[in-house]
């Protein structure tokens, strides 16, 4: 059967198409997906870092406030020691009391801020841990994608070599026609549904003449090939 080589060629082309699709569509998409996965984890760390920094700044602000009020208290105390008039003493005592009240408020606020800081630290730790795990997983994934890419490229070279050898065994006219059909229809060689007179490539019902052409082609041992008048595919 002369068409056998052409069918073998189609089989190699089918493999080639799948590998090329993997190389140009599937692998890049998986790589992009992996990078996006890592970017999500990195963004989470960034957000947690900012949140934690804000909590820390708040804590420091209240701490600073507290220290300042303690200083005010000391100053009031020193003033009281130097002042002899009753009025002055009273003023210094009032100043001290004010500073003390403010210091107490600042201390309470600092405690609350410190308590708030703990969960943001925990969230930051968790985000960092997740990022490290994702980083490792994504690095591994990308390495395996790279390995697969090299494998696919090597396979493509092999198939192209085999295809070249097969193509030489196919009659020039047939090869030319097959290559032309491949550009618009895939697969280029399909079965003709003889019972229903349908091309299984385009699924259109064909006139009786097509059936006769298919039978004649078979009889001639495929020296002449039959094709679908609707889509151009080679019919078996």
CB of 145 to Zn ion, least distance (A): 38
CB of 146 to Zn ion, least distance (A): 41
Residue 54 CA neighbour count, 13 Å, CB half: 9
Q: Which is nearer to Zn ion, 103 or 181 (CB)?
A: 181
Give the 3-state secondary structure percentages of the chain, helix then strand then coil, rounded to 5.
80, 5, 15
User: Do 9 and 187 touch, CB atoms closer than 8 A?
Assistant: no
Q: Does 199 bind Zn ion (CB under 5 A)?
A: yes
Q: Tokens 């290559």 belong to which residue?
A: 179
Q: How far is CA 114 from CA 46, 59, 145, in A?
A: 21, 6, 46
CB of 226 to Zn ion, least distance (A): 11
Selected binder of Zn ion within 9, 10, 201, 210 (CB under 5 A): 201
Q: Does 230 bind Zn ion (CB under 5 A)?
A: yes
Q: Does 228 bind Zn ion (CB under 5 A)?
A: yes
Q: Does 231 bind Zn ion (CB under 5 A)?
A: yes
Selected binder of Zn ion within 58, 202, 211, 218 (CB under 5 A): 202
Please give the Cα distance from 214 to 236 (Å, whole number).
Answer: 6
195: phi then psi, degrees, rounded to nearest 5: -70, -45
Tell me which stretch binds Zn ion (CB under 5 A): 82-90, 109-117, 172-180, 225-233.
Answer: 225-233
Residue 236 CA from chain centroid, whole number: 43
Tell me which stretch binds Zn ion (CB under 5 A): 27-35, 54-62, 76-84, 191-199.
Answer: 191-199
For residue 156, what are its two tokens?
A: 């493509």
Q: Does 76 bind Zn ion (CB under 5 A)?
A: no
CB of 232 to Zn ion, least distance (A): 7
CB of 229 to Zn ion, least distance (A): 8
User: Do 181 and 229 touch, CB atoms closer than 8 A?
Assistant: no
Q: Residues in the site for Zn ion, rule: CB under 5 A? A: 199, 201-202, 228, 230-231, 233
């Amino acid at each position: 059967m002369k068409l056998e080589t052409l069918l073998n060629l189609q089989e190699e082309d089918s493999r080639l198409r799948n590998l090329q699709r993997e190389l140009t569509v599937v692998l890049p998409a998986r790589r992009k997906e992996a990078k996006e996965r890592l970017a999500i984890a990195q963004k989470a760390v960034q957000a947690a870092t900012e949140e934690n920094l804000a909590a820390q700044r708040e804590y420091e602000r209240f701490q600073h406030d507290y220290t300042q009020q303690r200083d005010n208290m000391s100053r009031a105390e020193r003033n009281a020691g130097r002042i002899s008039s009753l009025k002055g003493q009273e003023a210094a005592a009032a100043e001290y009391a004010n500073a003390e009240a403010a210091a107490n408020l600042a201390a309470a606020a600092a405690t609350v801020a410190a308590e708030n800081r703990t969960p943001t630290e925990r969230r930051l730790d968790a985000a960092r841990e997740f990022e490290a795990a994702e980083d490792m997983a994504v690095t591994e994934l990308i390495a395996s994608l790279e390995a697969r890419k090299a494998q696919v490229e090597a396979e493509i070279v092999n198939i192209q070599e085999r295809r070249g050898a097969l193509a030489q065994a196919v009659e020039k006219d047939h090869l030319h026609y097959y290559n032309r059909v491949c550009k618009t229809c895939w697969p280029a060689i399909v079965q003709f549904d003889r019972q229903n007179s349908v091309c299984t490539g385009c699924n259109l019902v064909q006139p009786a003449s097509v059936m006769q052409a298919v039978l004649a082609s078979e009889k001639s041992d495929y020296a002449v090939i039959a094709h679908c008048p609707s889509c151009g595919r080679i019919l078996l």
